[in-house]
Chains A and B, each alone.
Chain A
Amino acid sequence: MRTYQGAVTVDVPADRVQSFVTSAEAVGPCLPDILALKVTAPTTFTARVRVSVGPVRGAFDLSAEIFPEDDGQGARLAVRGGGLGNGLDIKSRLGVTPVSPASTELSWQADVAISGPLAALGSRLIDAQAAKITAQLFQNIQQTMSDASAS
Chain B
Amino acid sequence: MALEITESRPLGKPIKRKEDARFVRGQGRYLDDIKLPDMLYLALVRSPYAHARITRIDTSRAQALPGVRLVLTGEDLAKMNLAWMPTLAGDQQMVLATGKVLFQYQEVAAVVADSRALAEDGAQLVEVEYDPLPAVVDPFWALSPQAPVLREDREEASNRIFHWEVGDLDGTERALRDAATVVTERIRMPRVHPAPLEPCGCIADYNAARGHLTWYVTSQAPHAHRTVLAMVAGLPEHKIHVISPDIGGGFGNKVPVFPGYVAAIVASISLNRPVKWIEARTENLTSTNFARDYHMEVALGADRDGRVTALRVSTVADHGAFDAAADPTKFPAGLFSIVTGSYDFPVAYAAVDGVYTNKAPGGVAYRCSFRVTEASFLIERAMNTLALRLNMDPAELRQRNFIAPERFPYQSPLGWTYDSGHYAATLQKALDIVDYPALRREQAERRARGELMGIGLSTFTEIVGAGPSSTFDILGIKMFDSCEIRVHPTGKVIARLGTRHQGQGHETTFAQVIAEELGLTTDDVLIEEGDTDTAPYGLGTYASRSTPLAGGAAALAARRVRDKAKKIAAHLLEVDEAEVEWDGQNFVAMGAPDRSVTMPAVALAAYTNLPHGMEPGLEATYYYDPPNLTFPNGAYVAVVDIDKGTGAVTVRRFVAVDDCGTVINPMVVDGQIHGGLTEGFAIAFMQEIPFDEDGNCLAPNFMDYLVPTAVETPHWETGRTVTPSPHHPIGAKGVGESPNVGSPAAFANAVIDALSPLGVTNIDIPLFPWKVWEVLREHGVAE
Q: Hey, which bits of chain A sit against chain B, CB under 8 A? A: 1, 58, 82-87, 89, 113-117, 119-120, 122
A50–B290 CA distance with the chains assembled, in angstroms: 34
Q: Is the CB of B104 within 8 A of A116?
A: yes
Q: Which A-chain residue is minimally distant from B704 (CB atoms)?
A: A120
The reply to whether B698 and A122 contact each other, CB–CB distance below 8 Å, is: yes
Known A87-B48, A87-B49, A115-B48: A120·B132 in contact at CB below 8 Å: no
Can you give 7 A-B contacts (C-beta < 8 A)? A113-B694, A115-B696, A116-B696, A119-B698, A122-B692, A122-B698, A122-B704
Residues of B within 8 A of A82 (CB): 48
Cβ of B30 within 8 Å of any chain A Cβ, yes or no, is no
Q: Tell me whether B693 is interfacial, beta carbon within 8 Å.
A: yes
Q: Which of B46, B104, B130, B696 has the most CB of A within 10 A?
A: B696
**Does A85 contact B694, Cβ atoms closer than 8 Å?**
no
Decide if A119 touches B46 in the complex (CB within 8 Å).
Answer: no
Query: Across the interface, do A120 and B700 meet the contact criterion of CB distance under 8 Å?
Result: yes
A84 touching B124, Cβ below 8 Å: yes
- Contact check, A120 vs B124: say whether CB atoms are below 8 A apart: no
Q: CA A85 – CA B43 in complex, angstroms?
A: 12
In this complex, how many residues of chain B approach chain A with their Cβ under 8 Å: the count is 20
Query: Contact: A1 with B694, CB < 8 Å?
Result: yes
Min CB gap B470→A, angstroms: 46
Verify A116–B701 contact, CB threshold 8 A. Answer: no
Q: Is the CB of A120 within 8 A of B699?
A: yes
1/0 per position for B115-130, CB-CB distance to A under 8 A?
0000000001000001
- Residues of B contacting A114 in the complex (Cβ-Cβ under 8 angstroms): 696
Complex: A68 Cα to B104 Cα, angstroms: 33
Interface string of B433-444 (1 = CB under 8 A from A): 000000000000
**CB-nearest residue of chain A to B705:** A120
Chain B residues with Cβ below 8 Å from A116 are 48, 104, 696
A contact residues around B49 at 8 Å (CB): 87, 115
Query: Is A115 in contact with B694, judged by CB distance below 8 angstroms?
Result: yes
- Is B605 in contact with chain A by the CB < 8 A criterion? no
Among B132, B694, B701, the residue within 8 A (CB) of A119 is B694
- B50 interface hit (Cβ, 8 Å): yes
Best-surrounded residue of A82, A85, A89 (most CB of chain B within 10 A):
A85
A1, A58, A85: which contacts B48 (Cβ < 8 A)?
Answer: A85
Interface residues in B75-130 by Cβ distance below 8 A to A read: 104, 124, 130
Does any Cβ of A come within 8 Å of B282's Cβ?
yes
B698 touches A115 (CB 8 A): no
Chain B interface, DSSP helix/strand/loop, else mixed:
loop
Contacting A at CB under 8 A, from B684-736, are 692-694, 696-701, 704
A115-B48, A115-B49, A116-B104 known; A89+B697 contact, CB < 8 A: no
A119 to B693, CA, bound (A): 11
| Interface hub of A115, A117, A122 (most chain B Cβ within 10 A) | A115
The answer for the CA separation of A114 and B124 in the assembled complex, in Å, is 18
**Distance in Å: Cβ of B748 to nearest Cβ of chain A:** 26
CB of A47 to closest CB in B, whole Å: 15
* Complexed CA–CA distance, A122 and B701 (Å): 13
Partner of B696, one of A83, A85, A89, A119: A119
- Find the residue from B692, B698, B699 having the highest chain A CB count within 10 A: B692
Q: CB-CB < 8 A to A89: which residues of B?
A: 132
Q: Is the CB of A87 within 8 A of B282?
A: no
Q: Which residues of A contact B104 (CB under 8 A)?
A: 115-116
In whole angstroms, what is the CA distance A122 to B692 when docked?
9
CB pair A119–B692 under 8 Å, yes or no, is yes
Q: Which chain A positions have C-beta within 8 A of B48?
A: 82, 85-87, 115-116
Number of A-B contacts (CB under 8 A): 46
Q: How far, in angstroms, from A9 to B607 measured CA to CA in the complex?
A: 99
A89–B50 alpha-carbon span in the complex (Å)? 14
Interfacial chain A residues near B692, Cβ < 8 Å: 119, 122
> Does A117 lie within 8 Å of B132, measured CB to CB?
no
Query: Contacts of A120 on B, CB cut-off 8 Å?
Result: 696-701, 704
Which residue of chain A is the closest to B45 with respect to CB atoms?
Answer: A85
How close is A49's CB to chain B, nearest CB, in angstroms?
Answer: 16
B652-704 contacts to A (CB < 8 Å): 692-694, 696-701, 704
User: Chain A: which residue is nearest B131 at the CB level?
Assistant: A80
Contact across chains for A87 and B698 when beta carbons are under 8 A apart: no
Chain A residues contacting B701 (CB-CB under 8 Å) are 120
Q: Once bound together, how far apart are the Cα atoms of A119 and B700, in whole Å?
A: 10
How long is the Cα–Cα vector from A83 to B697 in the complex, in angstroms?
Answer: 17
Q: How far is the CB of B128 from the nearest CB of chain A, in Å?
A: 9
In Å, the complex CA distance between A46 and B411 comes to: 69
Task: Say how far B738's CB is from chain A's closest CB, in angstroms.
Answer: 33
A58: chain B residues within 8 A (beta carbon): 124
Cα(A82)–Cα(B46), bound, Å: 13
Taken together as a complex, chains A and B put the C-alpha atoms of A120 and B45 apart, in Å, by 18
Contact with A along B453-489 (1 / 0, CB 8 A): 0000000000000000000000000000000000000
Chain B residues, CB < 8 A from A85: 45-46, 48, 124
A116 to B47 CA separation, bound complex (whole angstroms): 7
B136 smallest CB distance to A (angstroms): 15
CA distance A85 to B120 in the complex (A): 11
How far apart are the CA atoms of A85 and B697 in the complex, in Å?
13
**Residue contact A117 to B694, C-beta cutoff 8 Å:** no
Residue in chain A with minimal CB distance to B44: A85
Q: Which chain B residue shows the least CB distance to A86?
A: B48
A57 to B49, CA, bound (A): 19
Q: How far is the CA of A87 from the CA of B45 in the complex (A)?
A: 13
Write the nearest CB–CB distance from B452 to chain A, whole angstroms: 29
For B693, list chain A residues within 8 Å (CB).
1
* Cα–Cα, bound, A135→B490 (Å): 81
Assembly CA distance A81 to B688 (angstroms): 29
B284 to chain A, nearest CB (A): 14
The answer to whether B697 touches A87 (Cβ under 8 A) is: no
With A87-B130, A120-B696 as known contacts, state yes or no: A115 contacts B282, CB within 8 Å. no
Which A-B residue pairs are the 7 nearest by beta carbons?
A116-B48, A119-B696, A87-B48, A115-B48, A120-B700, A115-B49, A86-B48
Q: Which residue of chain B lies nearest to A122 when distances are taken between CB atoms in the complex? A: B698
Could you say which residues of chain A place their CB within 8 Å of the CB of B50? 115
Q: How far is it, in angstroms, between the C-alpha of A86 and the C-alpha of B104 when the chains are bound?
A: 10
A113 / chain B contacts, CB cutoff of 8 Å: 132, 694
Instruction: Give 12 A-B pairs besides A85-B48, A116-B48 with Cβ atoms closer than 8 angstroms.
Output: A84-B124, A86-B48, A87-B48, A87-B49, A87-B132, A113-B694, A115-B50, A115-B132, A115-B696, A117-B282, A120-B698, A122-B698
Q: What chain B residues lie within 8 Å of A1 (beta carbons)?
A: 693-694
How distant is the Cα of A113 from the Cα of B697 in the complex, in angstroms?
14
Interfacial chain B residues near A87, Cβ < 8 Å:
48-49, 130, 132
From residue B463, how far is it (CB to closest CB) to chain A in Å? Answer: 36
Tell me which residues across on chain A come within 8 A of B46, comparing CB atoms.
Answer: 85
CA distance A115 to B128 in the complex (A): 14
User: How far is it, in angstroms, between the C-alpha of A49 and the C-alpha of B701 when the chains are bound?
Assistant: 26
Distance from A13 Cβ to chain B, minimum over Cβ atoms (Å): 38
How many angstroms from the CA of A42 to the CA of B331 in the assembled complex?
Answer: 61
Q: Are B124 and A117 within 8 A (Cβ)?
A: no
Interface centre among B46, B50, B104, B704 (most CB of A within 10 A): B104
Contacts of A86 in B (CB 8 A): 48
Q: Give A9 to B130 CA distance when docked, in angstroms.
A: 37
- Which residues on the B side are within 8 Å of A117 (C-beta)? 282, 700
Please give, as numbers and ranges, the residues of chain B lying within 8 Å of A83 by CB-CB distance: 124
What CA separation (Å) do A119 and B135 show in the bound complex?
Answer: 15
Expressed in whole angstroms, the Cα–Cα distance for A63 and B48 within the complex equals 17
Alpha-carbon separation in the docked complex, A99 to B104 (Å): 45
- A58 CA to B124 CA in the complex, in Å? 11
0 or 1 for each of B600-631: is its CB under 8 Å from A? (1 = yes): 00000000000000000000000000000000
